[in-house]
Structure 1
Amino acid sequence: MNSPETPDRPRVDSIATLTVTRTPVTRRDAAAKEAGEVQERANCNSMSLGSLITSRKDECECERMRLLAYTECVVNKWLVREGTDRISSLKE
């Protein structure tokens, strides 16, 4: 890809490569990031269900669904147990 040399444009022998400088990530940086993520999850887990639904929705959606699934599971177990106890008492 040679182009003719002109006064305002020097001759180009090859395509220039772009050098990207990356800041090295230290173990300390990685640990701090992980600690921040753990703290985010802890904050999310400690929120009440009402605030869980309304604030930080994206980060907490998974935790909210987990909480709702757990609650539904407990309620269903209670309903099954109650229903089984009532059926047993009716049979007697």
Structure 2
Amino acid sequence: MASEDPFGLFGDPEELRRRMAEFAEQLQGAQRVAWADNAIRLAVEMTVAALARINVQGTPEQQTEQLAAAIRRLFPEAVILVREAREGFGT
């Protein structure tokens, strides 16, 4: 015997359950998007902050090489964050 809503506030209990499940799925999706956005933002901020701390010196070519070397060291960490964000978004 299904429980009845004596006040008529919630309508069909099965419809309410379905809508609550849909709402929960939407919240989970929004959380995944927010996490992915935060991870990507962190990767960008980490790269920008690290590059800002570098004291480049020398000719423009030497400065370019110094920045490129720093990016080569930072890039794998940023890629990990972005990859994890994409995987979290895709599941």
TM-score (norm 1): 0.38
Q: Which has the higher contact order (CA 8 A, sep 6+)?
A: 2
TM-score (norm 2): 0.38
Q: Counting helix residues as a fraction of each chain, which structure ranks higher?
A: 2
